[in-house]
Structure 1
Amino acid sequence: MKFTDGYWQMRPGVTARHAVSVTDAVVTDDRVTLYAPVTRVTHRGDTLNSPLLTVECWSPAEGVIGVRLTHHGGRLPRRPEFALTPGGGSGHAKVVREGSTIELVSGELSLRTDTEAPWQLDFTAGGHTLTSLGRRGAGFATDAEERHFMLAQLSLGVGESVYGLGERFTPFVKNGQTVDIWQADGGTNSEQAYKNVPFHLTSRGYGVFVNHPGLVSYEVGSETVGRVQFSVEDQSLEFFVIHGPGPREILARYTALTGRPALPPAWSFGLWLSTSFTTSYDETTVNRFVQGMADAEIPLSVFHFDCFWMREYQWSDFVWDPDVFPDPEGMIARLKERGLRVCVWLNPYIAQKSRLFAEGMAGGHLLKKPDGDVWQWDRWQPGMALVDFTSPAARDWYAGKLRVLLDQGVDCFKTDFGERVPVDVAWHDGSDPERMHNYYTQLYNETVFELLRRERGEGEAVVFARSATAGGQRLPVHWGGDCESTFEAMAESLRGGLSLGLSGFGFWSHDIGGFEGTPTPAVFKRWVQFGLLSSHSRLHGSKSYRVPWDYGDEAVAVTRSFTRLKHRLMPYLYRAALQARDFGTPVMRAMVLAFPDDPACHPLDRQYMLGDDLLVAPVFTEDGTVDYYVPEGTWTQVLTGERIQGPGWRRETHGFDTLPLLARPDAVIPFGAVDGSPEYDWADGVTLRVYAPGDGDSEVVVPVPAPDGSGDAAVFTVRRTAADVVVETGGALPWRVLLVGAAPTGDGVADPLGALYTCPAGTGRLTARWA
């Protein structure tokens, strides 16, 4: 929200007051409370009839410093609040006071102020200032409607770029943008977002989390061009500055505070196929789709039933339409006999015609207006009401309806919607409606995810969620929402996913082929490549099917090839998934996350790193032309073996069987032996693709995880010199080594990509020579 009219004036009706100095400071061993007047105090009379800001500073975890700005402190606490997990216990922070200078130190991060100087809070690390709350940096404003806003402005350095703030489809670098953290169902081609997260990080080595679940309004270099301003309509504003120094470390500390994702089951990484939304379908259609995929030799892992598995006008009642699916239990059993998991669509809304409306109303499970009536409207579903998830009884009631579906054999749920939440309502637990608007999705997805965890077991729970806020990363997976079926929408989807990854979310997907409209064969095939080199992969549309044969024989071949490639990459992808679970590092990584010291990577949003070692540059053109950037070193095209030297930009033209998929210099990438499913023993017959070392010798440790995430099924140590490669492992299973780009020597055999060496079971060591 903008308060000023240019540099000198305020907007009509706006009055702003800012901290100008520190008149008193209360210091303990690990906490500082500053008292800051908003007018200059030269004598006792200046202390009268003027506000005094209270500024509390502390550290909840090493490398993290919290600041709370308060005008009037008498306001009672409001629900909901983000669930935070402070770490490190006591002793990680200290306060040092020397004369008029006060410094709060937490790890390498420090907050410093001088009580005898004009107002200034500096955040420093490594002897450098990261950002500051300087002149007009902390204060409050009121407008013509007598609304009260707390605001803070953190300085931006020259060339500093800002990222994150949720899954945003606007330009990837947020500088120059106004961003409102407010859930909305706006599609992927607007400034609105389904997943709003009041957290940003910058290229200067720090991130900022605003601890407010409601509307947070950002001006990212868009009101004062050298500052990031954030404001809330409240009497208090709390935020945390999180030091890196790199973006991976920032995300690790941020997700330690707000939560890290659960590990999705291995089967969820396979290909999902949907009925699509308003298309005509029944069990015959489903069987035709499933058999068609089998006939085309395209492995399928999950079949998804979208909205019309239920009767029209009755969403949601969680009852299969008997005219279309007369035997749901039998149908699900037959799908499972084919090795498929089953997902069904749901949302948190109850239409008036639904059998659950009267039941929910009688039980007090539906959201009410202040006068006690059930809140309703006619958008989406006639007479629609919302489940009030602030009520434990409502959560149990809703989960009980889903439990019936699990008993029928359903494995997981697509938790759609959750954004259009009214504010003229009264929540069961007394939550503040403005704060609950964004947070509603968290309660909704928690209710469903925790049911799956209880009923299906730890490690088997997965949802396909559209809406989220801070902390939602704990409940994977999320998908990008409603996009058009164009190259432009494909690019904006990737942009949103990379932004979400830099907001702490580890797993992300999108509608392959686009949702609205029908893609051209070229768009479909290129989106298939992108979708199957994503964390999770789903074919889904609105008014048209997304079965590959509808887009030509070549589309079938592309879908088959890239699905099988993804299955062979499972030991590599699951290692990336474990990094998301353990450290908060997303599986799909913006180039700035992987290469923060390369300025050329900072704005890139049309390519990404998939895990540590694979660079993916999707093709967004009809003729197959793609421009992409290669960081320093000798990279290798995974699909062809071509070596590519960086740093520098490349322009290539690709047929539909390839795209830029590059292995990082010095990479050793495990490829599984099975391409027909994501579920198998990844260590049995694994092939290590070993790429030539860069400058000098190198050693890489390559763990191959167990499919249940419980540990490593095998661990390989690969030592490379310019002359040879030595691989050692304690595993008893057979394994292979492919020296990419080398001719075979000794026991090696020729492979299209290099020299292949097979190691029988029990072989713990192999030596091969480059040639």
Structure 2
Amino acid sequence: MKFTNGYWLIKEGITAHHAAQAYEAEQDGGELAVFAPVKPTKTRGDTLNATLLTVRLSSPMRDIVRVRISHFEGGLDAGPFFETASDPLFRPEISIDENEARISSGRLEARIAFSDSWLVEWSGSGRPLTFSGTKSTGYMVDPDKKAYMKEELNLSPGEYVYGLGERFGPFVKNGQSVDIWNADGGTASEQAYKNIPFYMTNKGYGVFVNDPGAVSLEVGSEKTSRVQFSVPGEVLDYFMIYGPTPAEVLERYTALVGRPPLLPEWSYGLWLTTSFTTSYDEKTVMSFIDGMAERNIPLSVFHFDCFWMKAFHWTDFIWDAETFPDPAGLIKRIKDKGVRVCLWINPYIAQRSPLFKEGKQNGFLLKKTDGSVWQTDLWQPGMGIVDFTNPEAAAWYAEKLEALLALGVDAFKTDFGERIPTEVRWHDGGDPVKQHNWYAQLYNRTVFELLESKKGEGEACLFARSATAGGQKYPVHWGGDCESTFEAMAESLRGGLSLGLCGFGYWSHDIGGFEGTPRADLFKRWIAFGLLSSHSRLHGSNSYRVPWNIDDESVEVTRRFALLKKRLMPYLHKCARDAHENGIPVMRAMFLAFPDDPACAFLDRQYMLGPDILVAPVFNPEGLAEYYLPEGNWTHLIDGRIIRGGRWIRESYDFMSIPVWALDGSEASLIAR
């Protein structure tokens, strides 16, 4: 949100109250409180009729400092709140003298100067990181008397910003305005399904805005040398996280908000679906599964999308008896072939579903402020939304899924969860604005914990679309509704790399694109990309995505890369353990893997699969690959070539290959031999 008109002026109607100086500070146990009037205070008279901001600094664990900036502190904050961890044995070092106040957490330090102007300087290992200066920390009021708190942190020349969730626009976020607000907007706009109020920079630190609601960021977009973040209300809460490497920033951030669990080994194989609006029955399903086996294409999971239930009934969790008269038998027949089963679900209850009446009577559906059930015709006629803030509603929803697990279902695709209204009343009394993004966490947690309770630790797996900070604890997440174009393939990768820089260890996407039917060249290029991702799924909207429906060569390409991924499984499992133990994603942005190589700062059309394998998907019909190979000797995993890196490469590939290089001497390089 922009508050200024250019650099000098405030927007018309906005009243700005900026911290003018640090007037005094005090220590309260492990907290440093700094009191900042919004005008210089030189006489006793200046303390009257004044606005005072309070800045409280503390440390939940080493190398992390929490900053809480408040105007009025008497409000009722009903939540929800992000779940953050702390080290109860850790205490920061705090000092106050006549010139300054300091708080040190490990190698991270904040220095607040007692001077005629506001200045908070951040340093890591004694090296300057960023600062909050004049007109940075503020309490703003708009023409409707709505209050906002904001902070601005300086950007140095050559400092680049990354993260903020699964964003499909430019990978480096400098120059962008970003609203942290989950939306079902596809993959081709500024909207995103997974908005995470966390960013890191190549200067060695990250910032996590500790607010699940409507966080707004101006990343060098309102003031070119500042990152501004603001929230509605009277309090702004954020964490400064020191690295200094990007991997160390991620390790500390995920220690704070949670790390991905281990996933079942079968989840890394190829998933095949019915697609969305296609016509299918048991004969269709079994022909797909048998067709993959006949063509020697390893298949791990078969997914039933929405129409396993009757039209207009979503969600009732009842199989369409006309199409699937024997679901238990069908699932057994699928599993007898060594294939797992996943079902599509969502948290929306159509009025025609028998669950609607049940949910209404028991108070399990989200209500309007007048107490009636909130409803819409968008998606399913008359649908309501399950209120997961009600523990009984969550248990009711999980109980319906439990019956499906008893049939032999292995996983659920937890679709939707983004279009959550704000003019509503939640069971737990939570803030409707903050519940909007938080809803995805409650939804995915309910389903994941059910799976974990029934199948055991390390055996639960979702295919989720929406998320907020901490959502990596309930994987896997996929990239949403992309088009069947090379452009969408590239934007999907940008989104996945940005999400990985927010602690999400696993990520997938719809191979070939969701909307439309991919051309043969696109499908074959996307196959290589998809099967060299952490998780791989063939899915679409209105066309079957079995490779023989595309052309004969698509079968060969699918087999080639499915078998390659099968050989990579032991390596991928080690990468997954790194995600679980340290928060480092399986698919890694080049910036994350090679932070000291300036050529990697902007690279978003290639990535590292784990620590040792570089993948550069081909994004054009001509088969031209242009990519950067960092220093070292690299072995091509398909043709066995060994070349020296530290250079850009431009070469052509047929559909049976792709730039996929392993660092020579690594375990991964042995796969090519």
Q: Secondary structure of the equivalent of 1:509? A: coil
Q: Deviations over 1:413-459 (max 9, x none)?
A: 00000000000100001011000000001000011000000111111
Q: Given that residues 25 and 96 in structure 2 are in contact (C-alpha distance below 8 angstroms), is that contact kept between their aligned partners in structure 1?
A: no
Give the structure 1 partner of residue 26 of structure 2: 26
Q: Secondary structure of the equivalent of 1:652? A: strand
Measured in 2, the distance between the counterparts of 1:541 and 1:504 equals 27
Give the structure 2 partner of residue 79 of structure 1: 79
Q: Deviations over 1:689-719 (max 9, x none)?
A: 45xxxxxxxxxxxxxxxxxxxxxxxxxxxxx
Give the structure 2 partner of residue 326 of structure 1: 325
- The residue type paired with residue 44 of structure 1 is R
Q: Deviations over 1:642-695 (max 9, x none)?
A: 1222211110100011110111244222xxxxxxxxxxxxxxxxxxx45xxxxx
Mapping of residues 98-137 of structure 1, within 5 Å:
98-137=97-136
Measured in 2, the distance between the counterparts of 1:91 and 1:388 equals 38
Q: Given that residues 30 and 104 in structure 1 are in contact (C-alpha distance below 8 angstroms), is that contact kept between their aligned partners in structure 2?
A: no
Give the structure 2 partner of residue 294 of structure 1: 293
Computed over aligned residues only, the root mean square deviation of the Cα atoms, in angstroms, reads 1.0
Give the structure 1 partner of residue 592 of structure 2: 593
Measured in 2, the distance between the counterparts of 1:386 and 1:30 equals 42
Query: 1:91 and 1:516, CA in 2 relative to 1: closer, same or farther beyond 3 A?
Result: closer
Give the structure 2 partner of residue 236 of structure 1: 235
How many residues in Structure 1 have an aligned counterpart in Structure 2? 673
Give the structure 2 partner of residue 14 of structure 1: 14
Greater alpha carbon shift after TM alignment, 657-666 vs 159-168: 657-666
Q: Secondary structure of the equivalent of 1:508? A: coil
Q: Given that residues 62 and 90 in structure 2 are in contact (C-alpha distance below 8 angstroms), is that contact kept between their aligned partners in structure 1?
A: no
Q: Given that residues 627 and 651 in structure 1 are in contact (C-alpha distance below 8 angstroms), is that contact kept between their aligned partners in structure 2?
A: yes
Give the structure 1 partner of residue 476 of structure 2: 477
Give the structure 2 partner of residue 220 of structure 1: 219
Q: How far is 1:266 from its partner?
A: 0.3
Measured in 1, the distance between the counterparts of 2:437 and 2:205 equals 25
Q: Percent identity?
A: 59
Q: How far is 1:125 from its partner?
A: 1.2
Q: Given that residues 277 and 307 in structure 1 are in contact (C-alpha distance below 8 angstroms), is that contact kept between their aligned partners in structure 2?
A: yes
- Highest Rg: 1 or 2? 1
Q: Secondary structure of the equivalent of 1:404? A: helix
Measured in 2, the distance between the counterparts of 1:22 and 1:529 equals 57
- The residue type paired with residue 556 of structure 1 is V
Give the structure 1 partner of residue 412 of structure 2: 413
Measured in 1, the distance between the counterparts of 2:77 and 2:431 equals 10
Mapping of residues 310-389 of structure 1, within 5 Å:
310-389=309-388
Q: Deviations over 1:215-259 (max 9, x none)?
A: 000000000110000000010000000000001000000000000
Measured in 1, the distance between the counterparts of 2:637 and 2:561 equals 13
Q: Given that residues 169 and 193 in structure 1 are in contact (C-alpha distance below 8 angstroms), is that contact kept between their aligned partners in structure 2?
A: yes
Q: Secondary structure of the equivalent of 1:303? A: strand
Give the structure 2 partner of residue 439 of structure 1: 438
- The residue type paired with residue 15 of structure 2 is T
Measured in 2, the distance between the counterparts of 1:132 and 1:116 equals 15
Runs of 4+ in 1 over 3 A off after TM superposition: none
Q: Deviations over 1:599-647 (max 9, x none)?
A: 1101100000000100000000101001000111222212112122221
- The residue type paired with residue 71 of structure 1 is H
Give the structure 1 partner of residue 516 of structure 2: 517
Measured in 1, the distance between the counterparts of 2:358 and 2:541 equals 31
Q: Secondary structure of the equivalent of 2:468? A: coil
- The residue type paired with residue 426 of structure 2 is W
Measured in 1, the distance between the counterparts of 2:251 and 2:372 equals 45
Q: Which runs of 5+ in 1 are unaligned?
A: 670-688, 691-737, 741-752, 754-771
Q: How far is 1:117 from its partner?
A: 4.6
The TM-score with structure 1 as length reference comes to 0.86
Q: Given that residues 29 and 94 in structure 1 are in contact (C-alpha distance below 8 angstroms), is that contact kept between their aligned partners in structure 2?
A: no
Measured in 2, the distance between the counterparts of 1:27 and 1:92 equals 13
Q: Secondary structure of the equivalent of 1:112? A: strand
Measured in 2, the distance between the counterparts of 1:664 and 1:231 equals 43
Give the structure 1 partner of residue 653 of structure 2: 654
- The residue type paired with residue 21 of structure 1 is Q
Give the structure 2 partner of residue 543 of structure 1: 542
Q: Given that residues 283 and 324 in structure 1 are in contact (C-alpha distance below 8 angstroms), is that contact kept between their aligned partners in structure 2?
A: yes
Greater alpha carbon shift after TM alignment, 472-481 vs 36-45: 36-45
Q: Secondary structure of the equivalent of 1:256? A: helix
Q: How far is 1:23 from its partner?
A: 1.2
Q: Deviations over 1:557-589 (max 9, x none)?
A: 110111111111111000000000000000000
Give the structure 2 partner of residue 151 of structure 1: 150
- The residue type paired with residue 520 of structure 2 is P
Q: Given that residues 318 and 401 in structure 1 are in contact (C-alpha distance below 8 angstroms), is that contact kept between their aligned partners in structure 2?
A: yes
Measured in 1, the distance between the counterparts of 2:335 and 2:513 equals 28
Measured in 2, the distance between the counterparts of 1:493 and 1:128 equals 36
Q: Deviations over 1:510-563 (max 9, x none)?
A: 000100000001110110100000000000000011000011111001101111
Q: Given that residues 168 and 189 in structure 2 are in contact (C-alpha distance below 8 angstroms), is that contact kept between their aligned partners in structure 1?
A: yes
Q: How far is 1:86 from its partner?
A: 1.1
Measured in 1, the distance between the counterparts of 2:241 and 2:478 equals 27
- The residue type paired with residue 388 of structure 1 is D
Measured in 1, the distance between the counterparts of 2:463 and 2:625 equals 30
Q: How far is 1:127 from its partner?
A: 2.1
Q: Given that residues 348 and 387 in structure 1 are in contact (C-alpha distance below 8 angstroms), is that contact kept between their aligned partners in structure 2?
A: yes
